[in-house]
Every structure is written in structure tokens, then in C-alpha cells.
Amino acid sequence: MAIKALSYLGITSEKIQDWSDYATKNLGMQEIDKTKNSLMLRMDDQKQRFSISNDGGEGLSFLGWEVEKKSDLDNFASKLNENNVKVFRGQKFLCDKRFVEDLIYFKDPAGNQIELIFNPFKTDDEFKPGRAISGFKTGICGLGHAVLHTNNIEPLVTFYRDILKFKVSDYSFEPIRLHFFHVNERHHSFALVETGKVGFHHFMVEYKNLDDVGQGYDLLQFEKNKIAYTIGRHTNDYMTSFYSYSPSGFFVENGWGGRLINPDTWTPELTDIGPSFWGHERLHLPEDERLKFRNKRMEIAANGIQAPLVIDCPWLYQNQLNKNAK
């Protein structure tokens, strides 16, 4: 019984046209259906990855997680019932709306709607990106990752780790309390950040080419209040990324080059080096709070803490080996 990937995301927004422009022209997704009150998007061969509808307010509507086997849905439902979580079976109408074979849904301790789904439908129709990108890195690693604000991290950690069996990637206490989880080789598909707020912090989509990220950055960086974090590199998943403001106000991380881990051998670790090797200046924060993160970066730069070198040239690799052997 296992959850294997983040399959889709639902967002509630009154700004359907802004989302349509942002998702296609900036993020590079493909619009598959749009009405006055809803918008559906693709990012690969899965029929639907994002569903945005005007259900009131701005923020997360639901998170869809794919399970390995159809019987996992019943097993998770029993486990959730044992823990006093009310579980509902998705009727045919809802399964059709989500383009999946079967699903169950329930609320997490913070009231977020979680959907566990079996067999998201694929299509042979070619993915046509909304801007000229190389594409998104999805496949067995799922659509990317989702991060939630919380004012009380403990019950949520217990819920996701002990009931849904998410595996802990790492966690930290300073300068802010964070908990990262994986469900496949992606370093994290889900994270919780104890900011004192509630709601959606950000989702991340990973591109196949660093230039997709750089060109996306150029499209926004000269406009006012579009970039929330400047380009930088994270210390835990090695993602090079920037964060832009979505039309709903929460952030979208545009990433490239995330690390893959081995979930069978990974041991959760406490990290205290701060979230970024360099960059990721948090433009959305007041100066004094930005300074805490900036000081942390200056400290790790001074100590030469960096991601491991990736040598993808066989000649250079052999030279490095020879040098090491001397």
C-alpha cells in the first residue's frame, strides 16, 4: 500500500483569465478547457494536471496523490477510518471530472482536501506547451511538489508520515520550522512550513532545460511585483529555481536540476545550513526578515558549502579520476 506520486492540483480562483495567461505564457502549460469559471491544464501526457475553478477565494482546493494499486484506496480508507478521519468514495461524476479510474477523498487535520486516486488517464495527443519550452520533468516523479503553510506543524507531520506513509526527507528548525517528504525519487513532493499562516505556500514545476527557467525569469523580472524569490539554488533538493507570484497570490517555483534520491536507503536528516546555497533573495519579505536568510547564505558561502559537482563529460571525469589517483 503506497502513494507513489503527486498527480494533480486543484486551485480556487476568481481570476480565471489571469491564470490562463500566467499558466500558458509564463509557465508554459497547455490549456485544454476554459470557461468563465474554470480552467484545465496539461503539462505532459496526463490528461489533466491542474484544475482551476471559481469556488470562492484564492488558494488550494485539493491535492491529488496517485496510489500504486486500486486496492490501496480501500486500505487507506480503513486506516484513515481507524484514525477517525471521514473518508468519501468518489462517484463516477467526480472520477470523470478528474480523469481517473477511481478515487477517495478526505480532509487533512488543517482542512485541506486530499484525494487518493488510481490510474490517472493519459492521452496520445501531443503536449503543446503554451510557450516555447523543452517541457516538464514529470513521469514517475509526479508533477512536482506542493508546500503548505501551517500554524501548527506537529499534527500535520503525524498525519502525513504515520497515516499516509509519506517518508521524511529532511527537516529544520532555523530560521523557520520545515518538514520535507518524499513518495518517490524526487527529493520532496510535499513540505510543510510553520510560518504561522495557513494555506498554500507554493507549488513547484520542474523543467527539462535550465534555459526554460532562465527564459521564464526574463519574461517576468522586468515587471513590477512578479518575482517573489530571485533565482537561486536550494540546499536540500539542489533545485535551481525562482519563485513567481501566481494570480492567486501564492508562489510558483520554476525549477530545474532537482536531485533524485534512493527512497530505500534514504535516512531523514536535520538540516541547519539554511534553504539556499546562493540567491533566492526573498523579495516578498520585509528587509529585516530577508536579512536572516541572506546572513545564512553568506555564512555557507564563506564556508564553501556547495552541492556535489556533477561531471557529465567522460574526458573530464577520467582526468579527475587520474588527478585523484596521484
Contacts with Fe ion, residue ranges (CB under 5 A):
204, 253
User: Toward Fe ion, which CB reaches closer, 63 or 204?
Assistant: 204
User: Toward Fe ion, which CB reaches closer, 16 or 193?
Assistant: 193
User: Toward Fe ion, which CB reaches closer, 104 or 252?
Assistant: 252
User: Toward Fe ion, which CB reaches closer, 80 or 192?
Assistant: 192
DSSP bridge partners of 31: 41
Of 248, 288, 301, 254, which Cα lies nearest the Cα of 57? 248
Of 128, 174, 169, which Cα lies nearest the Cα of 24? 128
User: Toward Fe ion, which CB reaches closer, 105 or 251?
Assistant: 251
User: Toward Fe ion, which CB reaches closer, 43 or 204?
Assistant: 204
Name the 3-class secondary structure at 201: strand
User: Residue 152: phi, psi to the nearest 5?
Assistant: -155, 95
d(CA 144, CA 186): 8
Q: Give the burial string for 150-189 (b: 16+ CB within 10 Å, else e).
A: beebeebbebbeebbebbbbbbbeeeebbbbbbbbbbbbb
Q: Nearest approach, Cβ of 220 to Fe ion (angstroms)?
A: 17
Q: Nearest approach, Cβ of 125 to Fe ion (angstroms)?
A: 30
Q: Nearest approach, Cβ of 188 to Fe ion (angstroms)?
A: 8
Contact (CB, 8 A) for 200 and 149: yes
Q: Nearest approach, Cβ of 276 to Fe ion (angstroms)?
A: 11
User: Toward Fe ion, which CB reaches closer, 99 or 203?
Assistant: 203
Q: Nearest approach, Cβ of 166 to Fe ion (angstroms)?
A: 16
Non-local CB neighbours of 187 within 8 Å, separated by 6+ positions:
169, 180, 236, 237, 238, 258, 259, 260, 261
Q: Nearest approach, Cβ of 147 to Fe ion (angstroms)?
A: 6
User: Toward Fe ion, which CB reaches closer, 8 or 242?
Assistant: 242
Contact (CB, 8 A) for 253 and 241: yes
Q: Nearest approach, Cβ of 182 to Fe ion (angstroms)?
A: 13
User: Residue 212: phi, psi to the nearest 5?
Assistant: -60, -40
Task: Read off the DSSP letter of residue 181.
Answer: E
User: Toward Fe ion, which CB reaches closer, 116 or 228?
Assistant: 228
Instruction: Look at strands 269-270 and 199-207 and give their pairing.
Output: unpaired
Q: Nearest approach, Cβ of 295 to Fe ion (angstroms)?
A: 21
Q: Nearest approach, Cβ of 237 to Fe ion (angstroms)?
A: 8
d(CA 8, CA 131): 21
Burial of 101 (0-12, 13-18, 19+ CB in 10 A): middle
